[in-house]
Amino acid sequence: VGQYILSPARVLTPEEELTVPVLPDWYIIPKEVKRICEHAKVTTDTVQPMRNFLLRGPAGTGKTEGAKAVASGLHLPYRCLTCSANTEVFDLLGQILPDVDGKRTALERQYPSFQDIMLDPASAYEKLTGTYDENITEDQVYKQLIDTIFDEMHEYYASKTSQQHFRYVDTPLVEAIRNGYLIEIQEPTVIANPGVLVGLNSLMDRCNSVFLPNGETVQRHPDMVIVVTTNNDYAGCKPLNQSVISRMSV
């Protein structure tokens, strides 16, 4: 665990540290996992560091646990993306979605919690209205809270135009590309269109960049590792495109 850190000077944020897998005590590290970590570490300063790995085998042989163990050995945050028959390139690289504000949750002010209202209705009422009334009841404060939030939301939407806005949504893969995480791509052989993964070829090549649907070009972080895990010859599985297999380091 943590014996194959790719960039010794790199410091993960507390949030990233929480997503570095912790191996259970019962887990016996397979030789394949150790070999992948060794290859990734020893080739780090070479012209073409090994960062793309393919694990194949029957269900239950520990491919996903192996991917997590690799992340643990490299001390990288772990991300996962599971493929299905309908997976398309935009499912891997993100998509442009309408920016629907109907589910707005970020309010401008800090409001008293229900516990605040129960413990001290007068102070909660003062926080909402600026007026301290020691005779105010919990029910009156609850009603004032609802009215205040309603007024804020009404003002917010009244100031917005009716023009539709769109935003780009990152996938776990793009998050891993940007920040240098390990991403496990599960079961790509079930994708109905075997050419979908070919859309990632530029990411796996030496140029190490990919074009996103929003027009942005993302450079692959030097620590970013791709582990593809797939079954062998199961019903519904299709052969991986040879151009994808040729880009796997091991």
Q: Domain boundary at 135, 158, 181, which?
A: 158
Same domain, 88 and 176: yes
- Residue predicted with more confidence, 165 or 188: 188
Residue 104 has pLDDT above 70, yes or no: no
The answer to whether residue 83 is domain-embedded is: yes
Evaluate if residue 110 carries a pLDDT over 80. no
- Point out the domain boundary residue: 158, 182, 207: 158
114 and 139 share one domain: yes
Rounded to whole angstroms, how far apart are CA atoms 93 and 192?
17
Same domain, 126 and 197: no
Q: Please state, in angstroms and rounded to a whole number, the distance separating the CA atoms of residues 77 and 11.
A: 12
Strand segments (E) across the chain: 52-56, 78-82, 95-98, 166-169, 182-186, 209-211, 217-219, 225-230
CATH number of the domain enclosing 45: 3.40.50.300
Same domain, 133 and 222: no
Q: What is the mean pLDDT of the chain?
A: 84
How confident is the model over 127-141, as a mean pLDDT?
85
- Tokens at 190, concatenated: 């079930």
Interior/surface letters 40-51, b for 16+ CB within 10 angstroms, e for the rest: bbeebeeeebbb
- Residues 174-183 pLDDT 10s: 999 999 999 9
Same domain as 22, residue 110: no
Percent of the residues in the chain that have a pLDDT greater than 90, as a whole number = 36
Residue 63's CB is within 10 A of a number of other CB atoms, namely 23
Looking at the structure, do residues 26 and 126 belong to the same domain, yes or no?
no
Range of the domain at 90: 14-97+168-245
Q: Are 160 and 104 in contact (CB under 8 A)?
A: no
Segment 27-70, tens digit of pLDDT: 999 999 999 999 999 999 998 899 999 999 888 899 999 999 99
Q: How many domains does the chain have?
A: 2
pLDDT in tens, 190-248: 888 877 888 788 778 766 888 887 788 888 999 999 999 998 776 667 778 888 888 89
pLDDT of amino acid 125? 86
What residues form DSSP beta bridges with 186? 82, 229
The CA-atom distances, in angstroms, between 152 and each of 96, 113, 128, 158, 165 are 28, 17, 12, 10, 21
Residue 95 reports pLDDT greater than 80: no
